[in-house]
């Protein structure tokens, strides 16, 4: 086990609004981690910083000891909260594009996942339902053999049966030395696959814990703890 991600005293402001406030977080390799927090707590902002979409106003972020940039993008596979794909493209062409672009893209794994979810690679994204588009994007992201997967709301738009398949796929396909950081509000759906949880509140980390610790020592599910901590 080694340190994969270090977020050191990071602040991020949008004008006068402070989204992240001296946030610190360290993730080791080999874990599936839930990034959980109420609306507006800073999850997407943190994820964008880890992926170099935004830059911090203060502090620094390191992946495998490297500052965020071209080299870290080679080892981080990112599912954004909004699609960046060209809706006019066929899935097959997007797979070709990913294979050219990412050295770690496993095209066989991608076609296998498409087949299991009955998605036709000849279809164009724009002809697909919202949930199917989301499945395609997740397949693209999980078909890279990355060290860190950062998934922003990966299962929000898919039906419960597909959620189970997708979570099983994540579990069975990912390398045990990799780490997955998943931001989601669907805690009950994902908590069985999580090793650890990170609670974020008002732009700072309010709790980091193993899921076993919450279950055994506190005697409750992560979902129940979340509802208690963030009761409105
Ligand atoms: N582009 C922006 N301009 C101004 N404020 C922003 C912008 N993006 C986010 N914010 C603010 O920063 C804070 C954190 O937002 P962020 O999207 O990171 O939260 P989140 O935890 O991902 O929320 P949600 O669960 O609703 O997706 C919020 O107060 C939000 O209003």
1 pLDDT higher than 80: no
Over residues 89-102, the pLDDT tens digits come to: 999 999 999 999 99
In the chain, what percentage of residues exceed pLDDT 90? Answer: 81
CA distance 170 to 222: 20
What residue ranges do the domains of the chain occupy? Answer: 3-229
Prediction ipTM score: 0.98
Nearest CA to ligand 1 atom 3: 14
Residue with more model confidence, 51 or 173:
51
Nearest CA to ligand 1 atom 29: 40
Over residues 147-179, the pLDDT tens digits come to: 999 999 988 888 888 888 788 877 777 788 999
Nearest to 58 by CA among 49, 70, 48: 49
Tell me, what's the pLDDT at 55?
A: 98
225 pLDDT higher than 90: yes
Residue 67: CB atoms within 10 A of its CB come to 11
Centroid of ligand 1 to alpha carbon of 32 (angstroms): 24
Nearest to 114 by CA among 90, 97, 146: 90
pTM for the model stands at: 0.95
| Averaged pLDDT score across all residues of the chain | 94
Q: What atom in ligand 1 is closest to the CA of residue 48?
A: 18
66 pLDDT higher than 90: yes
205 pLDDT higher than 70: yes
117 pLDDT higher than 90: no
Q: What atom in ligand 1 is closest to the CA of residue 200?
A: 21
79 pLDDT higher than 70: yes
Nearest CA to ligand 1 atom 4: 14
Q: What atom in ligand 1 is closest to the CA of residue 152?
A: 22
Contact present, 36 and 197 (Cβ < 8 Å)? yes
For residues 194-200, give the mean pLDDT. Answer: 97
Residue with more model confidence, 228 or 155:
228
Q: What atom in ligand 1 is closest to the CA of residue 45?
A: 18
82 pLDDT higher than 90: no
Which of 20, 44, 230 to probe ligand 1 with, by most ligand atoms within 8 A of CB?
Answer: 44
Tell me, what's the pLDDT at 136?
A: 94
Q: What atom in ligand 1 is closest to the CA of residue 203?
A: 14
CATH 3.40.50.300 fits domain 3-229: yes
Centroid of ligand 1 to alpha carbon of 19 (angstroms): 7
CA distance 102 to 117: 23
Lowest mean pLDDT among 41-55, 84-98, 158-172, 185-199: 158-172
CA distance 78 to 184: 14
Tell me, what's the pLDDT at 142?
A: 92
CA distance 150 to 79: 6
3-state percent breakdown (helix, strand, coil) of the chain, nearest 5: 35, 30, 35
Which of 37, 43, 48, 50 to probe ligand 1 with, by most ligand atoms within 8 A of CB?
Answer: 43
Q: What atom in ligand 1 is closest to the CA of residue 153?
A: 27
Residue with more model confidence, 60 or 192:
60
Centroid of ligand 1 to alpha carbon of 109 (angstroms): 34
For residues 4-30, give the mean pLDDT. Answer: 97
Q: List ligand 1's pocket residues with C-beta within 6 A.
A: 14, 17, 19, 37, 39-45
């Amino acid at each position: 086990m080694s340190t994969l991600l270090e977020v050191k005293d990071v602040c991020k402001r949008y004008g006068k609004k402070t989204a992240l406030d001296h946030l610190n977080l360290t993730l080791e390799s080999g874990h599936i981690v839930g990034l959980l927090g109420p609306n507006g707590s800073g999850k997407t902002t943190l994820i964008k910083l880890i992926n170099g979409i935004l830059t911090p106003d203060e502090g620094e972020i390191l992946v495998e000891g490297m500052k965020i940039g071209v080299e870290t993008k080679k080892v981080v596979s990112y599912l954004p909260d909004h699609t960046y794909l060209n809706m006019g493209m066929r899935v097959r062409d997007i797979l070709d594009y990913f294979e050219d672009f990412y050295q770690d893209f496993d095209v066989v794994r991608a076609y296998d996942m498409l087949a299991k979810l009955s998605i036709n690679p000849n279809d164009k994204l724009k002809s697909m339902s919202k949930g199917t588009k989301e499945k395609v994007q997740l397949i693209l992201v999980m078909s890279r053999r990355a060290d860190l997967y950062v998934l922003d709301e990966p299962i929000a738009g898919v039906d419960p049966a597909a959620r189970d398949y997708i979570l099983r796929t994540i579990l069975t396909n990912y390398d045990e030395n990799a780490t997955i950081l998943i931001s989601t509000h669907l805690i009950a759906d994902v908590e069985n696959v999580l090793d650890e949880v990170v609670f974020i509140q008002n732009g700072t980390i309010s709790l980091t814990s193993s899921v076993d610790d919450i279950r055994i020592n506190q005697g409750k599910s992560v979902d129940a703890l979340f509802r208690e901590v963030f009761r409105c």
